[in-house]
Structure 1
Amino acid sequence: MATVSPSWAYTLHLPHDPRAPGIGRATLRTVLAAHDLLRLAPTAELLASELLTNAHLHTRGPYALRLRAMETGRLRVGVWDADPRVPSGFTGEGALVGVPPVEAEDGRGLHLVRACADSVGASVLRELGASKGGKLLWAECR
């Protein structure tokens, strides 16, 4: 009889602190090692790093790293923040516009996420009861 791995999910709440993206990446590596998914580490870490850094740079409050097992060998890396504005083109459909010039020092993060992820998406979360609203940007890799 075949066994099925139970699904799992982790959420790491992070303060608005410049060290938080690094702490998120370290936590991601620990979770992947615990679930025998270290082969996903290079891509998953890039996805988490870009999403966490964007949350830190473009929002004012805390944010959270969410890791969720999808089907076998597939991981969803998500980052929640309290700002409900979804970056243009980050809906999983269509291309991002405004590729930065070659000499630009920033502006490539979401382009990297879109290029390296198998799929991406965004959810706007409304204020409901205990919810904090905001948005969740996610990217999947396998």
Structure 2
Amino acid sequence: MDTVSLPDTWSYALRLPRDPRAARVARMTVRAALSGHGRHESLDTVELLTSELVTNAYRHTHGPASLRLTALPGGRLRVGVWDSHPRIPAPFGAPPWDRVRPALEDAEDGRGLCLVQEYADAWGGWPIGDGGGSDRGAGKLLWFEVTGRKSEGAREAVA
């Protein structure tokens, strides 16, 4: 009898409305997908960083966002978040990547992109379309990759 082996690579995509609950829906989707594929070693990191990018899409745009979660060869996991705003923030710009300054100690926000910089193994961003912010696909795609090696630090950042 032949055995069927599950594929090493897979992809999930989710369209998120402009809604304050979008980050929660994205976290739940990431948790379900990674748990279903036995990728527990990177779950906390991916969940945290995905939440940060989706939250930024909600806070800094006036349209929907999209999430794509892709398992790549070699155990890498890539998360991409598209939104309609054309500006690519640090640290996602072209090399040499500019660094995000640490948030002030008493600041209530401004730590999300620092977390990407700290816990992702790779990251980047691409402008999409004409940059006009229309619903025809313009805007940007921000992405990050993890291999599971830095997930311990992400657990501490969430706590």
Q: Normalising by the residue count of structure 2, what TM-score does the alignment of the two structures yield? A: 0.79
Q: Does 1:139 align with 2:144?
A: yes
Deviations 1:32-73 (A, max 9, x none): 122111221011101101101111111110001110111232
Q: Distance in 1 between matches of 2:123 and 2:96?
A: 9
For residue 77 of structure 1, the aligned residue among 76, 79, 82 is: 79
Deviations 1:2-57 (A, max 9, x none): x7835221110010001111011001111112211122101110110110111111
- Give the 3-state SS of the residue equivalent to 2:47 in structure 1: helix
Deviation at 1:90, TM superposition (A): 1.7
The answer as to whether partners of 1:37 and 1:73 remain within 8 angstroms in 2 is no
In structure 2, the residue matched to 1:51 is: 53
Among 109, 119, 123, the residue aligned to 1:116: 119
Q: Which residue of 1 aligns with 2:19?
A: 17
Count of residues in correspondence between the two structures: 138
Question: % of aligned pairs identical?
Answer: 46
Which of 26, 37, 40 pairs up with 1:35?
Answer: 37
Distance 1:115 1:24, change over 3 A: same
CA distance in 1, matches of 2:105, 2:50: 24
For the aligned residue pairs, the C-alpha RMSD in angstroms reads: 2.0
2:65 corresponding residue in structure 1? 63
Contact kept in structure 1, 2:14 and 2:66, CA below 8 Å: yes
The offset of 1:131, in angstroms, is 5.1
Question: Any stretches of 5+ residues in structure 2 without a counterpart?
Answer: 148-159
Return the offset for 1:88.
3.0
Structure 1-normalised TM-score? 0.88
Alignment correspondent of 1:96 = 99
